[in-house]
Structure 1
C-alpha cells in the first residue's frame, strides 16, 4: 500500500492510481502546509457533499493542504468487483501519498472506522480527527450485521443490503430513499459500502477487546445536536488510545458546521505536525 500513487489530471479533477490498480478521483486544495485527507462515510461523493468541500477550502485557506476524494465505487472513482477494506485502504494510502507522504485523516461516520484501521495498519498517518463514529453496539452484533451485508452483496441483493445497512439509522432516511423513483439505482451504490461494514466490525472488536493499536493523536468529535450514542462512542475511542481528546463542536444531524470545524482541524493538524 505504500507504493507511490500514479497521478493524472482531467479537467478540474485529479486522479491517482492505487497499488491495487484502482483509479481515485480527488481535489487538492492549498498544498503548502500540513495535510489533511477527508475520509467520508457511506454515501456521499464530492459532488453532493458541499459541507466537506467548504471545510476543505477553509482548511486550505488557513495554510494547509486539504484533499477530498471519491471513495471507490462512488462519483468519479468507478470500481468493479469486491470493494473490500484492503482496496479502500489502498485508496487512502494513495491520497496520503498525493498529500506529500503523511497526513491527518478526517473521518466522518463510518469513515472514522476506516481511518482508525488505516492508522492501525501502519499507513503514514500523523493524527485522526473523527466526527461521530457510529460505534457502540456489542462487537458480536456489529460483526453479524456486517456479515449479513456481505452475504446480501454476494447474492447481488442490493435493495435488501441497503435496507440492512441502514437498519439502525433514522427510519425516515430509508423511507425517503425508497420513495424515490431512483431507488433501484440508489440501492446499487451499497456495493461500495462493504469496506464500511468491514471496518466498523473491526473497530468494534478492537474497542471491545482492547486491541485498538493507534498511537497517533486522536480527536473524537460530535455535534451539539446529535444522537445520544455519538458522545458515548467518542468517549470509548478516547479511552482506548494513548493520545485521545473528546470535543463537542457546532453541528447537527450527523454533520458539522464548516467554519468552526475548519479552525479545529487546522489547529489539530499543525499540532500533529509538530
Structure 2
C-alpha cells in the first residue's frame, strides 16, 4: 500500500500494479480496494497499464476529514493523478463515474481520457425517481448511527428486492457494507440530481472535453440504458457502447478487453 495526501490533508491509500500508461480505477458506492470489483479488474488490466486502485475517503485505509464536500473528493483524485505523473486515463463505475466527470471538468485535471460505466441516473419516466428527501433521510440515519438502516435504504433505492436485502443481512458481506455506510451520503452528493427524473443539465459537464466512453449493460433496466445514451449525448466528446449480457455488476472478463481497446486507441 502507498498513500498520497489530498489538498485538505486527508491521507488517501492506493495500490499500484502493472506497467504501461497510468490508469486509475474509481469505485462506486460502498466499494474500496479490499471490497468490490476493482481489484479483479486491475488484475485483468495490469499487463497493459500501470493500474491504480484507491480507497475513496472514509473507506478502507483512507482518511475522512470533515466536513465532506464533492470538491474534496475531486481533490483526492487529483492528488492521485499527480502521483501517477498526470496525463492519465480514468475509469469510473457507478457513482465513481460521476466523481470522474466532476474531476475531469476541473481545469488542469490531468485526465487525458475517461471511460464511464452506468452512472446512476433516472432521466425520464421509465422508472420511479428517487424520493425528494432521500439525502436528508440518509444524513439523518448516519447521524443516528443506524448504519444497517442506511444500507437498507440505499439498497431499496437502487432497486434491490426486499428478499435480496434480507438474505444479504445474513451474510458476512453485510458487516462490510455497514462499515462504509456513512459514506453513502457522499455518493448522493457526487451524483447531485441525476436520480430525480430530470434530463441531464446541458452545462453540468460541458467542460469535460476529453474523449469519453460511456457504457451500460445490455441486461440493465431501460432507464439506466437510456440515461447512459443521454449522458453520451451531453458530453462534448463522447461515444456510447452497450456491453451485451451485462448488468450493473459488470464482469471484469467482459469489460477489461473493452477498456484495453479503448484506452490503447
Structure 2 residue aligned with 1:149: 138
1:144 and 1:222 map into 2 onto residues whose CA distance is: 27
Shift of 1:221: 0.9
User: Cα RMSD over matched residues?
Assistant: 2.7
Shift of 1:252: 3.3
Shift of 1:61: 0.3
Structure 1 residue aligned with 2:262: 268
Task: Count matched residues.
Answer: 255
Deviations for 1:180-225, whole angstroms, at most 9, x for unmatched residues? 5885774352212222110111556995331122211221112233
Question: Gapped runs of 5+ residues in structure 2?
Answer: none
Instruction: Quickly say closer, same or farther: Cα 1:135–1:153, change in 2 above 3 A.
Output: same
2:136 and 2:190 map into 1 onto residues whose CA distance is: 12
Shift of 1:98: 1.9
2:81 and 2:172 map into 1 onto residues whose CA distance is: 38
**Contact 1:16 1:24 (C-alpha < 8 Å) held by counterparts:** yes
**Contact 2:218 2:243 (C-alpha < 8 Å) held by counterparts:** yes
Structure 2 residue aligned with 1:170: 160
Structure 1 residue aligned with 2:34: 47
Structure 1 residue aligned with 2:59: 74
1:73 and 1:44 map into 2 onto residues whose CA distance is: 11
2:9 and 2:199 map into 1 onto residues whose CA distance is: 32
Give the TM-score normalised by structure 2: 0.83
2:261 and 2:199 map into 1 onto residues whose CA distance is: 27
**Contact 1:177 1:186 (C-alpha < 8 Å) held by counterparts:** no
1:83-162 paired onto structure 2 within 5 Å: 83-122=68-107, 123-137=109-123, 141=130, 144-162=133-151
Question: Gapped runs of 5+ residues in structure 1?
Answer: 1-12
1:239 and 1:261 map into 2 onto residues whose CA distance is: 22
Q: Which structure features the higher share of helix residues?
A: 1
Structure 1 position 231 matched with structure 2 position 225: yes
Instruction: Quickly say closer, same or farther: Cα 1:95–1:253, change in 2 above 3 A.
Output: same
Structure 1 residue aligned with 2:240: 246
1:28 to 16, 36, 40: 16
Shift of 1:237: 0.4
Shift of 1:108: 0.9
Structure 1 position 192 matched with structure 2 position 179: no
1:14 and 1:251 map into 2 onto residues whose CA distance is: 36
Shift of 1:166: 2.5
Shift of 1:111: 0.9
Instruction: Quickly say closer, same or farther: Cα 1:84–1:251, change in 2 above 3 A.
Output: farther
Shift of 1:104: 2.1
